[in-house]
Structure 1
């Protein structure tokens, strides 16, 4: 098997936890980066499960997991976006950016310095064995895998094994509901989907709780206390609250962006050191 040509970084969490927004910003901050959306692996609507009389878009059964695994294998071996994936997610509307231009510019400068010759990022992404005067060429790309069910064993165990670095974003039920209900809808294979009234309470949140109980203390997702020991065992990285020891699931987005940029750099360094 040849050298891995792309590193896969997972960004997972409940629907409306900020995954896609963060992925798009990280793509702009880190060069040679592209996004693969879990939402691009939905099965046709007529094949989706039905729960309480509603089409269930938020369960493992709604996704073509083998096709997602195939895409990740292609990315790791070829370093390119899979030609057999037709992205619908990128056609969905994007709300106002929750990070200021100043913060984004500062993060770009931080990553640029990290990628400079002689710095840790340079040896990760560029070929250092070039003749004098040659322009360094990227030898590694980064794929950001954005999805709401990436860390849900056993059904996603194969997917988890293909993700090199795993990030989990928390969000409270109240904020997830407010954000999801504010969306105008989603582009689908068949056309367009708009959540019916009560969809978050009946479908989205119960499915999220069921799939993620393993990573919370006593399985209490509502309580929001992450089980850091279990996360460590599965090599999942999550944001810790600042200040006292109290837990919190809603974070200021600029703090999350700064945390994510720092964690991506440190995680890439650790990944590179293991190779």
Structure 2
């Protein structure tokens, strides 16, 4: 079999990036995990995993504390865009990528089983249609509180979701959060 014939039989890869942005504790990761459970073969890429080492986080000029909200310095944008490009080209998260999300407290937010099953069936049919047409779909949820700041990241997203949550709800959720791990806490 000629090389060209083998290439023709390989399904065409289509990676769909679903951006999920919003304030800290707005439910981005929870939504991403629910979508991962619904969308066949999907994965999550957490923006927090691209935080630079803690000692490189910029210092706020007025308050003299590390400024984790400084968009320029709180995320290693070149490393994140490189990972997105790799995923778009291959359909897999780069092998050197390591997520720290499993170290974070995982609060269960239940969804009715009937609803989950209904949506799984919908997306399973969509997946089957694309496979029949010779296309492999890969869904990637990309969550982050600074997700919509960097133009190259924003431009790579096929679907953009912004979670808006009332201030008092965010304040309560942040108060309830017990420790949170990002890549910046560890040597990358």
Does the TM-score normalized on the shorter chain lie above 0.5? yes
Q: Name the SS of the counterpart of 2:45 in structure 1.
A: strand
Contact conserved, 1:6 with 1:143, CA < 8 A, in 2?
Answer: yes
Tell me the distance in 2 between the aligned counterparts of 1:83 and 1:110.
Answer: 33
Does 2:154 correspond to 1:157?
no
What is the match of residue 176 of structure 1?
170
Aligned residue-pair number: 173
> Which of residues 9, 13, 19 in structure 1 aligns to 2:18?
9
Match of 2:120 in 1: 112
SS at match of 2:136: coil
Q: CA deviation at 1:3?
A: 4.9
Contact 2:26-2:163 within 8 A present in 1 as well: yes
Superposition deviation, residue 172 in structure 1: 1.4
Return the TM-score normalized by structure 1: 0.58
User: Structure 2: where are the runs of 5+ without partners?
Assistant: 1-10
Deviations 1:187-246 (A, max 9, x none): 245758xxxxxxxxxxxxxxxxxxxxxxxxxxxxxxxxxxxxxxxxxxxxxxxxxxxxxx
* TM-score after normalising by structure 2: 0.83
Identify the structure with bigger relative contact order (alpha carbons < 8 Å, sequence gap 6+): 2
Give distance in 2, aligned partners of 1:189 and 1:63: 10
> Which residue of the partner structure matches residue 99 of structure 1?
110
Unpaired runs of 5+ in structure 1?
130-137, 193-275
Q: In 2, distance between residues paired with 1:110 and 1:45?
A: 43
Task: Say if 2:19 and 2:157, in contact at 8 Å, map to a contact too.
Answer: yes
2:141 partner SS: strand
| Inter-partner Cα distance in structure 1 for 2:161 and 2:97 | 23
Given that residues 41 and 68 in structure 1 are in contact (C-alpha distance below 8 angstroms), is that contact kept between their aligned partners in structure 2?
yes
